[in-house]
Amino acid sequence: MRRTRGLRALLAAAACVLLAGCVRMPTEGPVVEPRVPAESEQAPGISFDPRPPRPDETPSEIVAGFLEAMKATPISLTVARQFLSRSADKTWAPEKQIVTYAELGTPTGVSAVRLPMSDVNLYDDRGAWQRTRATRDLDLTLVQEDGEWRIDQVPDALVVPDSWFEDFYQRVSLYYFDPTSEVLVPEPVFVPRGDQFASSLVRGLLAQPTGESVDVARTWFPAGTTTRPVVITRAGIAEVSLSGDPDAIDTDTAQRMLTQLAWTLRQDLSIRAVQLTVGDRLITFGSSSTQVGLDVGSRYDPSGPGSSRQLFALDRGRVVAGDVGSFEETLGPLGQGAYRLRSLGVTLTGARVAGISRDGTQLLTAPTDTPDGVVTAPVTDGVDLAAPAFDYRDRTWLLDRAGGRARILLVVDGDARAVDVPGLTGRDVTKLLVSRDGTRLVAVVRGASADRIVAARVLHDASGAVLGFTSLRTLPLPAEGSTRVRDVAWRSPTTVSVLSDINADFSQVRTISVDGAPGRVDTGGATSLRGRFRALVSAPLEDPEAYAVGGRSISDLTRQERTVPDLPAGLTSLTYVG
């Protein structure tokens, strides 16, 4: 047995070496959404081949080598396993969790080593962010095996610096269905870049929703399904081979499995089509070819062919539609009559509008294209109603700010009822968003000195009825700029843009992920704007135009070089559908 004199000092030195050795690899930023990625899916072009354990190394050197080996690039844990005992090597399952840290503290212990970590983020087996902890200890137990120190007890996790994680993992989405199987639901995750990208996407997709997620999303892949590495041919065909019984897959199941695969794998820009094998049989989409295009299942997209890309607004209280610089009155009664609305929302198809009366007490609804259409008033007892939002089921979600004691109202088929959203109901809520797939709420909660942006998932049963809501999750905002939020709007199905002031002369727009994962999402658009802007106009679409509005002034967030003329006098409440 080797002597352990000075081991604590060596462990501290090893931790310092680890921190100093975290070389920052080049990166181009995260992918925002499928089909409009902000970067290539390739990993940075620098490889790192860590050294294996050497004879007669001390426990501190084994621990340092093990942590360093988990940073191998391309990503591989072959060398890291060599630092484990034979029994630990057989049982260690690092695929169960990812743990990232900002810094390592001073280690303690000899054969039982404890390493403090700070700013720790936890990700599940799919790469979905779970939570952040200010501190967490990494506990490792060492034994001697054949005269050499080896790690015998180790957490089932990949443990890496967050700087390394940012360089070699990218933000993407796994596509599931809602509980009704009527609409696709994207779930944000992080997966490795490079050659493992497509295979990691498929492995994540095969994971079954658990806990509260069962009432948010469902998958059509049978439990226990496994995958071989995905092969991408020179023609861009992703060949996916899964375990299972092909005779158990009917036409409906095959279509939805292929839809999930196509929408998830379309984030790999080298893929042009998907081919699925289950067991020993190729799966077809209906009677078509076994090679399925990436647009398959577009009818399950809430922003698909049936949704409108028009802008809507109020012109002196009447509903108009069109594009910036070219609006026309709508034919419905709210576009022709003297209802004098103050804000509005529009169904995804653009066929029906919901407006808030000038005094904020009534919700009025009517068709947009029928002059003699009937105007209904599902809500007449509001106090301070905000602009309504719609999901794909044409349900109206309505915030009544009510003087700092918010009510959340849900209107279904003309009937309104209050729904209790823990953490929002009865609080000072200034803005409410609902995702087009109907599975997410995002809100701005006003505090004494700062505003918070929070998100919750909407729980549904198989018929689409709302069962309740998950606990609120506060979304992290960068520290710079004002703590007050001027506006928030959907920028993609899984991100929102946030408008706030920098100072008296400048505004800023920041985009964050609705899952609460750390890190700013790069949309490639403006983040700093000269002037005082008060509203955002954007939508979760491919290649959408996004705007910041302040009075009549309007700025294009997606094409900064474009000069946008001022809005006409009297034009207010500019919005997309949803």
Assess whether 51 and 111 both reside in one domain: yes
Assess whether 189 and 247 both reside in one domain: yes
> 139 has which bridge partners?
114
Any residues with CB less than 8 A from the CB of 405 and at least 6 apart, and which? Answer: 426, 427, 428
Q: Decide which of 300, 321, 344 is a domain's last residue.
A: 300
Q: Which residue, 542, 481, 385, is CA-closest to 35?
A: 542
Q: Evaluate whether residue 396 is within a structural domain.
A: no
Going from the C-alpha of 289 to that of each of 244, 264, 274, 285, 546, the distances in angstroms are 21, 20, 10, 7, 38
Assess whether 114 and 187 both reside in one domain: no
Q: Please count the structural domains in the chain.
A: 3
Assess whether 505 and 576 both reside in one domain: yes
User: What token pair was written down for 113?
Assistant: 């080593």
Assess whether 158 and 182 both reside in one domain: no
Q: Evaluate whether residue 225 is within a structural domain.
A: yes
Q: Evaluate whether residue 470 is within a structural domain.
A: no
Kindly report the pTM of this predicted structure.
0.88
Assess whether 133 and 210 both reside in one domain: no
Any residues with CB less than 8 A from the CB of 521 and at least 6 apart, and which? Answer: 30, 32, 171, 491, 495, 511, 512, 513
Per-residue pLDDT of the chain (578 residues; tens, 9 = 90+): 333 333 344 344 444 333 333 333 333 333 333 333 333 345 555 789 999 999 999 999 999 999 999 999 989 999 999 999 999 999 999 999 999 999 999 888 989 999 999 999 999 999 999 999 999 999 999 999 999 999 999 999 999 999 999 999 999 999 999 999 999 999 999 999 999 999 999 999 999 887 778 899 999 999 999 999 999 999 999 999 999 999 999 999 999 999 999 999 999 999 999 999 999 999 987 666 789 999 999 999 999 888 999 999 999 999 999 999 899 999 999 998 778 899 999 999 999 999 999 999 999 999 999 988 999 999 999 999 999 999 999 999 999 999 999 999 999 999 999 999 999 999 999 999 999 999 999 999 999 989 999 999 999 999 999 999 999 999 988 766 678 999 999 999 999 999 999 888 999 999 999 999 987 787 766 688 999 999 999 999 877 789 999 999 999 998 877 888 999 999 999 999 99
Assess whether 15 and 86 both reside in one domain: yes
**Cα torsion for 521, 522, 526, 527, to the nearest 10°?**
40
Q: Evaluate whether residue 196 is within a structural domain.
A: yes
What is the Cα 420 distance to its own chain's centre? 24
Assess whether 11 and 54 both reside in one domain: yes
What digits encode the pLDDT tens for the residues 285-326? 766 678 999 999 999 999 988 899 999 999 999 999 999 989
Q: Which residue, 351, 441, 424, is CA-closest to 389?
A: 441
Element spanning 232, H or E: strand 231-232
Assess whether 183 and 155 both reside in one domain: no
**Cα torsion for 529, 530, 534, 539, to the nearest 10°?**
-30
Q: Evaluate whether residue 255 is within a structural domain.
A: yes
Q: CB burial class (10 A; 0-12, 13-18, 19+) of residue 565?
A: exposed
Residue 524 domain boundaries: 477-578
Q: Evaluate whether residue 437 is within a structural domain.
A: no
Q: Decide which of 300, 320, 349 is a domain's last residue.
A: 300
What gap in Å lies between CA 77 and CA 501, rounded to an integer? 46
Q: Evaluate whether residue 246 is within a structural domain.
A: yes
| Sequence letter at residue 307 | S
Diameter of the chain measured on Cα atoms: 92
What digits encode the pLDDT tens for the residues 112-145? 999 999 999 999 999 999 999 999 999 999 999 9
CB 407 within 8 A of CB 422: no
**Residue 76 belongs to a domain with what CATH number?**
3.10.450
Assess whether 85 and 136 both reside in one domain: yes
CB 149 within 8 A of CB 59: yes
Pairing between strand 281-283 and 291-293?
unpaired
Q: CB burial class (10 A; 0-12, 13-18, 19+) of residue 541?
A: buried
Assess whether 178 and 227 both reside in one domain: yes
Q: Evaluate whether residue 387 is within a structural domain.
A: no
Q: Decide which of 135, 167, 199 is a domain's last residue.
A: 167
Assess whether 16 and 137 both reside in one domain: yes
